[in-house]
Amino acid sequence: MMQGNLYSMRETFGRLLAELGETEKDLIVITADVGDSTRAMYFREKFKDRYFNVGISEQDMVNFAAGLAAVGKKPAIVNFAMFLMRAWEQIRNSIARMNLDVKMFVTHAGYSDHGDGSSHQALEDITLMRVLPNMKVIVPADPKDIERSLPVIIKERGPIYYRMGRDYSPPITVGQEYDFKIGKAYVIKEGSDLVIMGAGVVLWDALKAAEELEKMGISTAVINLFSIKPIDEDTIEYYARKTGRVITIEEHSIYGGIGSAVAEVLAKRYPVPMRFIGATTFGRSARSQRDLLDYYNINYKSIIREAIDLVK
């Protein structure tokens, strides 16, 4: 699961999902011809009778999952984030509208499918999913967060969109001690002058920026917004009041994404100056996910620039 000093999100997820299949007897995994790429194959190897590949047919996959949930099974859709968006209408009408117990586990989100370019890079999916009534949206920061949350997610009732990358995952929350709860944010660094809020692998940049800002005398908190919907309004308000300045960072569009979710909370609770770091256009092909994060200025250097401007 570890490559040098990096970890694989999909590898951790796939192996743990197969382990959970031992005790969750009603768990059924459905893919659309991406079982190997998403590592759902580990579940297939253990439970062939509870694994279905519907082919490149995402809309059918969603409706099939809805039917299984309607008769009391626990279907888990496992797919690329971008490909699942082809079935947004079916997710809306067949799953969210009926509040069915379907889990949607997506890999290759954000820029993580760096080699295949913009057609495969989901930068709008959080927006599309959090707008749906009944839908919960969860974004783990690293494989340790997957280990914390996946057993909880499987047992939770109702539709959940669970967003992961591919193989680029620095160790962000290793050594942190917290139990995952839906609707809860986690403080991974304390600070009093500024707070950085975000989710996913870019929290590595948040921590790196906070470390550099401390050297400049700017005390910086970092919040892991693990649960995007429902979101932890109390923690967001507390740190906005404590620091008076908020920066959000996400491997996703700034339009309707995590920054927007934070701004919605603070607009009604405690408005403060904010800066938003994230995508503003489509992606492109590159040699690595990190190259793309740097190319689009979704990195610690951008956070530092915005932080200095905010403090001034």
Question: Active-site residues: which are they?
Answer: 58
Query: Both tokens of residue 280?
Result: 């503003």
233, 226, 237, 227: which is closest to 203 by C-alpha? 226
Residue appearing with tokens 């009408």: 93
126, 121, 135, 208: which is closest to 166 by C-alpha? 121
Contact 296, 273 (CB under 8 A): no
- Please list the alpha-helical segments (H only) found in the chain: 9-20, 35-38, 41-46, 58-70, 81-84, 88-90, 125-130, 143-155, 203-215, 233-243, 258-269, 289-295, 300-311
Q: Which residues have a Cβ under 8 Å from the Cβ of 15 and sit 6 or more positions away?
A: 1, 39, 42
What single string gives the DSSP state of each residue in 208-274?
A: HHHHHHHHTT--EEEEE--EEES--HHHHHHHHHHHS-EEEEEEEESSSSHHHHHHHHHHHH----E
